[in-house]
Chains A and B, each alone.
Chain A
Amino acid sequence: MLTDFVPLFLMMALALGLALSLLKLHQLLGPKRPNLIKTAAYESGMDPIGTARERYSVKFYLVAMIFIVFDVEVVFLYPWAVSFRDFLAADAGLGVMMVVSFFILVLGIGLLYDIKKGGLEFE
């Protein structure tokens, strides 16, 4: 039984070794000749002025997060759209439409909540 697991151990060792070596390799192989410009925060572009800890409005993050969530939910619509034709052919189009409408409704409730709580007001 134990010999069955040999491939697994090999694979684990391989994965660990490869991952570790990739992490270390760039340090070892890459030439390191730092100069003032290279170590600057932005090698090309504006020189950083003032503190890097400048505060952005939290709204900035908020909108970004809301975007991520709603954006990704769309993935569920792809398989639906692809197979909608088959459902239509099988005469189940209304049902599948209702189901996806409910899905949109749930997303809509989220959006409604956002608007009502002022999450999208960008002052």
Chain B
Amino acid sequence: MEITLNWYLSLSAVLFVIGVLGVLMRRNAIVILMSVELMLNAVNLTLVALSQAMGDVAGQILVFFVMAVAAAEAAIGLAIIIALFRKKVTVDVNEFHLFKY
């Protein structure tokens, strides 16, 4: 059976939704961060597949940027989570609600 473009797109859609649900359902800030990374990587898969299918290189270029950005985001995210952990001794996002209403 031939693996067509739609298979890639479907797989990445599923991965993306898993990432979204992870963000919505998990409480650990680090797991949420990982879920976001999963979303980004799902999009990367889409981009690479589309790029390959169309024989256009722009999509792959964007993937490089996404990877770099994801790394920077991970670094910043971890830094923020650590700073907060030192204050609150927890990474449960439901515990962070100083500002509301």
Contacts and interface: CB of A to CB of B under 8 A. Distances in A.
Contact of B18 (A19, A64, A69): A19
B6 to A, nearest CB: 9
B14 interface: yes
A73 B17 contact: no
A22 interface: yes
Given A19-B18, A22-B18, A73-B68, A65 B75 contact: yes
Contacts of B13: 11-12, 14-15
Nearest to B89: A53
B62 interface: no
Contacts of A79: 61, 64
Given A15-B17, A23-B21, A53-B89, A69 B72 contact: yes
A14 B10 contact: yes
Contacts of B17: 15-16, 18-19
Interface residues of B, number: 23
Tell me the dominant secondary structure on chain B's binding face.
helix
B67 A65 contact: no
A75 interface: yes
A11 B68 contact: no
Given A15-B17, A20-B21, A61 B89 contact: no
B14 A61 contact: no
Interface of A: 11-12, 14-16, 18-20, 22-23, 53, 58, 61, 64-66, 68-69, 71-73, 75-76, 79
Given A15-B10, A19-B18, A79-B61, 19 more contacts: A11-B10, A12-B13, A14-B13, A14-B14, A15-B14, A15-B16, A15-B17, A19-B14, A58-B82, A61-B79, A61-B82, A65-B78, A66-B75, A68-B71, A68-B75, A69-B72, A72-B67, A75-B68, A79-B64
Q: Which 10 A-B pairs have the closest CB atoms?
A: A72-B71, A15-B13, A19-B17, A65-B75, A19-B18, A15-B17, A18-B14, A15-B14, A68-B71, A69-B75
